Amino acid sequence: MFSMKKITLSLCICIASFFAGLLAASNISEATIHSEKIILGSGCFWGAEKGYESLPGVIDAVSGYADGKGVRASYREITKLKNKFNVNNHAEVVEVTYNKNLISTEELLMHYFESHDPTQLNRQGNDIGTQYRSIILYSTQEQKQVIESLMQTYQTLLSAAGYGSIVTSVKPIENFYKAEKYHQDYIAKNPNGYCPDHSTGVRFDKRNTLEILDNSKLLSGKHIIVIEAEGYCPYCEKFKAEVVKNYFGNIPLVFRLASQLQDLEIKSPTWATPTILFIEDGEEVVGYQGYLSPKEFYQALGYFKLGDSEAYKVAFQQGTDARFCKEYEIFKNTPDGIFVDKLSGAPLFDTKDRFNSSTGWLSFTAPIKGSVYTKPDNSYGMRRTEIRSVTSDIHLGHVFPDGPNGMPRYCINATVLEFRPREDLS
């Protein structure tokens, strides 16, 4: 009869054998997925890391430091002033592990070259210093051959587009130091930022011709330009999802790459994406680098569109229209249609719910569902319920319980509305 100790020992041996078998199977699996590593430096590693992670076939992308000597591999050390132009300083790089069955070395490197300017020495845009150098560290001779061939092809395309010589260093991998934890997935951890975009706009293969867009329509009137990235930019996607998706205003909003601003007078740097430019008659009035929340965007748009007007004071300083103001007289007897947010263009009130309250302000029994929200307003020693637009967060007016037949009365400032006939909405 076996003792419990012997049974336990036998069980441990079996479990150990089982996991040894799993490990062997795992090693076999790793040998069949054709994974390789390559280290790529193209300036700030935050956006670069995110860009590689978005590519199908990339298994992992890790921010780190490489190619330095005599300098401790830490962000604090490589950013010291004494190391800014130190040729032995580490470069900010990304270690990319990829499945060659899903993405070739050539495809990965095409993304690398297209996503930065390899003709800039020890810098990318405003990021200046040896830590921002363009560098490729290869792990196989096959990778080296692909790199050299692709660089020749890209140099031809760059030269045709007016760029200088490629200065990218190409070396075998000697070491790689993983960056501090807060640098990993930095963009995902910091959603309110921008992606630096220093790409030249020069593309490989059939994409090698810069797309020159016609900007003649932007030379007259007011427009909003959103500069987006050549490749994937999470902040651009966030801006589209949270702002652009709900924007229906009458100031046209267009997207451009930094290389597509011909004939426009732009003052702001264009390397950050998104960059939002408010232009009039082809000239920038004001620009904002990085992601803008809906509230921030509409505050900027409000001043751009409304200026120092009564409408601006109503929208952003909780002002109130004068009774029987000009806009009220225009809007009180419009044909069938919809009143929209003056900034976002989102529908707010329907003429079917309008009534004459004889107060001198537009009055409605209800808003369009989901278009407004309420909040307490205890200003001026009164207890009222304020009405604000969901899309732009501008002040619209107040709601009172004295509407017809026991319904509410939404008392709304006409200066922050625009009218659209129903026949134009179809």
Structure tokens, 277:
């430019």
* Pair 408, 399: CB distance under 8 Å: yes
Residue range(s) occupied by CATH 3.40.30.10 in the chain: 207-292
**Which entry of 44, 195, 233, 236 is annotated as an active-site residue?**
44
* Catalytic residue status for 411: yes
In the chain, CATH 3.30.1060.10 sits at 32-180
Q: Is the pLDDT of residue 425 over 90?
A: no
Does CATH place domain 316-424 in 3.40.50.880?
no
Cβ neighbourhood burial of 368 (10 Å; 0-12, 13-18, 19+)? middle
Quote the mean pLDDT of the chain: 89
Do residues 208 and 158 make contact, with C-beta atoms less than 8 angstroms apart? no
Q: What is the pTM of this model?
A: 0.69
Predicted confidence (pLDDT) per residue in 132-175, tens digit: 999 999 999 999 999 999 999 999 999 999 999 999 999 999 99
Domain with CATH 2.170.150.20 in the chain: 316-424
* Cα–Cα distance, 362 to 212 (Å, whole number): 47
Q: What is the rounded end-to-end Cα distance, in angstroms, of the chain?
A: 87
CB 387 within 8 A of CB 397: yes
CATH number for the segment(s) 32-180: 3.30.1060.10
3.30.565.60, 3.20.20.70, 3.30.70.20, 3.40.30.10: which CATH number matches 207-292? 3.40.30.10
Q: Hey, which residues does 40 pair with through a beta bridge?
A: 94, 136
> Active-site residue among 195, 233, 236, 411?
411
For residue 372, list its beta bridge partners: 389
- What digits encode the pLDDT tens for the residues 300-345? 999 999 999 999 999 999 999 999 999 999 999 999 999 999 999 9
Residue 426: what pLDDT? 63
